[in-house]
Amino acid sequence: MAETSNLKKTNLSQQSSSNPALNNLLKKSKIYLDDKQIELIKDAYTFSNASHYGQLRKSGEPYINHPLSVASILADMKMDSASIIAAILHDVVEDTKTGKDDIEKRFGDEIARLVDGLTKIDNIKFLSQDEAQAENFSKMMLAMSDDLRVILVKLADRLHNMRTLDCLSKKKKTRIAKETLEIYVPIALRLGMNKLRLELEEISFKTINPLRYKIIVKSVQNHKGNKLKLLDEIKEKISVRLNELGIKAKIYSREKNSYSIYKKMKNKNLSFNAVFDIYGLRVVTSKIDNCYRIFGATHNLFKPVPGKFKDYIAIPKSNGYQALHTVLFGPNAIPIEVQIRTTQMDHFAESGIASHWQYKAGGHSSAQAYARDWLKKIIEMKRNTSNSLDFLENIKVDLFPDEIYVFTPKGDIKELPYRSSVIDYAYSIHSDVGNKCTAAKINGIDVPLSTMLSSGQTIEIITTQLGRPNASWLEFVVTAKARTNIKNYLKSIKSEQALDLGLRILDKSLHDYGTSFTEIPYASIKRLLKEYNLKDEKELFIGIGLGNIVPHLAAQNIAIKKSYVKQKYHDWLLKVLGTKRQEIIAIKGTEGLVLNYAKCCRPIPGDDIIGLTSSGNGFVVHRSVCRNIKKTSAKKINIEWSDEVSGEYQTQIRVYSEKQRGVLANVANVISRLSCNIENVKFDEVQNPYASFVFTIGVTSRKHLADVIKDLKKLKNVNKVMRTVG
């Protein structure tokens, strides 16, 4: 046994002295870290190498090379020693017998927390692979909210995994590449880590669409010669002009990566030749003042393309990126994009948050400020999201990179994702503003709440105490904050409505047994709750209101097991069930989300109706004559309209008329005059010279509908009007 142990130590020692990956890491680290920190890195290697001893990657190389390569990527970014050590140890807890406590004892609490934030949750049983991924991602994002270095190590880990994809199966490679594009690329973009993002995009695109990747790369190479000659000509002219003005600057050629070209071609339906910004110029100078002077100089030399100027210096992107962007008409009217920035801005554009890392000094760069603002949103998002799958979806929505900039009435700038609506803006101000929003103005003009916003607009939100979120808002909001708040409100209001309806239905069901809920001993209720595995009576009422619990079975369970009901009455009660008419539930129209009206027959107040249970969605109200009632096995509930019904209900009418000009307008005028909203119109040609129109309209009752039909029949050229039947 001793010989085996000594042999292991000898092998580890040989690996340490001859490991190229370790030597490469130490060479990079010695440039900016002190001797004490270098010794800690060596100690972390020794510990990790011993823990991973004997483990191999799919490629066949020793596993230790992976964490060393991840650490090397971080050393390229000049990250601190704690991040590099955490990278070396990041797979130890997950893939070996070593625990978090072991790391904490040897390397301290700071590094142990970093490693824990990166460790997957293997000891939890998940329902699916998606749920496992979502839970792991949720943990990582929350760990990141405590320490930004967690995500930087994770991004470096993902980059090295992408570089070594070739040894995996095609299915696994594709899955990892898609996950990278959906989650890790947008995170890198959010943190301003452009160089890392571009490499992740390139490898992912090459993996998912190898043929398209090859075609685009070849097309770029074929066009390269002529374009570079053109760029050199423009560079020379700009350089001469800047020298005349006494402005010092460096000018570089820039080439768009293949994935960015592919996205632009796909999103804007362009051919390769129509993508004008494949090549561009980057001008780097020392001062912000010079940026604006260079901008003016380039516009004097070449005519600018209207509407293509963007000032990201005055209004930085959400990830802290700053530069001036403009597009110029070069020789032969070929458009060329020019980016103008300072040296500091250029350095940040490549490495983002990593380039401004001041953790030990306790400083706060603008990049950190932007990142921490985003992390605050993540924490709030997690707090308001019920499960990890929803959290992951919200994060994906929030990571969309395109932004717009709008103004509050006081002149403050608000940044929102592209395609944001008025409601998104309202929720960005405050959750209460969004929840109570009833109207809005853009640049002083009244607009619908669904209006899509554009940069430069000034938005004013009007709120009232009676304002409430609407389920239809979910169709046009894009921000995670708006979506989460609306869903939470609808969920709470649905529970309240289900609670009220469920109690009424259960009490009516108990009447069949000659009792009511108020007369039932609590022991019987408690026994029922235990049988259904419910916490309290509220859960029972909500379950019935949502259609998840059959009310008559629950009523039977309670009544027959009542402590004061004697055995001799049981048969009598069961007999009564078959002969006694069920009590009828009165529908007021205020039940909201737990009561749905069938679109097949579109019931309105005054119709004979019946209710069908719909698991999880309460009850669906049908007309008694609806043919679909006979086709379903759902539990039927006897219902009727209350004497006091509120609201508007959709129904359909078919209008047969002669095909004459103005008929449709006349019909619409009558419907509008009688205070009906027209929700939809469908035209069906019957046979010349006759036509048929189907109108979906909103009415308050059968009488209201009868008045509409009566007045329509009086119109000239209208032959017949009838209500459609389900």
Query: Tell me, what amino acid is at 309?
Result: F
Identify whether the C-beta of residue 699 lies closer than 8 Å to the C-beta of residue 678. no
Strands 310-311 vs 279-285: parallel, antiparallel or unpaired? unpaired
Distance between CA atoms of 196 and 192, rounded to whole angstroms? 9
Closest to 41 (Cα-Cα) out of 70, 1, 6, 18: 70
Instruction: Give kind and range of the element (H or E) at residue 403.
Output: strand 403-407
The two tokens of residue 72 are: 């090397």
The two tokens of residue 583 are: 């009590």
260: Cβ contacts below 8 Å, ≥ 6 apart:
201
Distance between CA atoms of 36 and 511, rounded to whole angstroms? 81
- The residue with tokens 């490679």 is 173
Closest to 607 (Cα-Cα) out of 620, 621, 628, 595: 621
In residues, how long is the chain?
Answer: 726
205: Cβ contacts below 8 Å, ≥ 6 apart:
181, 212, 213, 258, 259, 262
The two tokens of residue 233 are: 């000509």
Question: 91 catalytic, yes or no?
Answer: no
Give the bridge partners for 326, in sequence order: 338
The two tokens of residue 28 are: 């990079």
| Identified catalytic residue from 95, 110, 179, 500 | 95
The two tokens of residue 178 are: 């898609």
| Identified catalytic residue from 94, 122, 446, 658 | 94
Give the bridge partners for 342, in sequence order: 285
Rounded to 5°, angle at Cα 199 from 195 and 204: 150
Instruction: Give kind and range of the element (H or E) at residue 508.
Output: helix 480-511
Instruction: Give kind and range of the element (H or E) at residue 445.
Output: strand 445-447
Question: 95 catalytic, yes or no?
Answer: yes
Distance between CA atoms of 279 and 29, rounded to whole angstroms? 35
Identify whether the C-beta of residue 725 lies closer than 8 Å to the C-beta of residue 716. no
Query: Tell me, what amino acid is at 707?
Result: D
Strands 249-255 vs 445-447: parallel, antiparallel or unpaired? unpaired
Cis peptide before 689 (omega within 30 of 0): yes
Distance between CA atoms of 21 and 65, rounded to whole angstroms? 6
Distance between CA atoms of 615 and 595, rounded to whole angstroms? 12
- The residue with tokens 């980059």 is 159
Distance between CA atoms of 659 and 418, rounded to whole angstroms? 45
- The residue with tokens 């390397």 is 107
76: Cβ contacts below 8 Å, ≥ 6 apart:
28
352: left (phi over 0), alpha (psi -120 to 50) or beta: left
Q: Provide the strand spans (E) within 145-237.
A: none
Dihedral (CA of 530, 532, 534, 537) sign: negative
Rounded to the nearest angstrom, the gap between the alpha carbon of residue 287 and the centroid of all alpha carbons in its chain is 38
Closest to 452 (Cα-Cα) out of 419, 429, 481: 419
Long-range contacts of 513-520, Cβ-Cβ distance < 8 Å, separation of 24 or more = 513/555, 513/556, 513/559, 513/560, 513/573, 513/576, 513/577, 514/559, 514/573, 514/576, 515/559, 515/562, 520/558, 520/559, 520/562
DSSP state of 184: I
Q: What is the largest CA-CA distance in the chain?
A: 111
Catalytic residues: 94-95
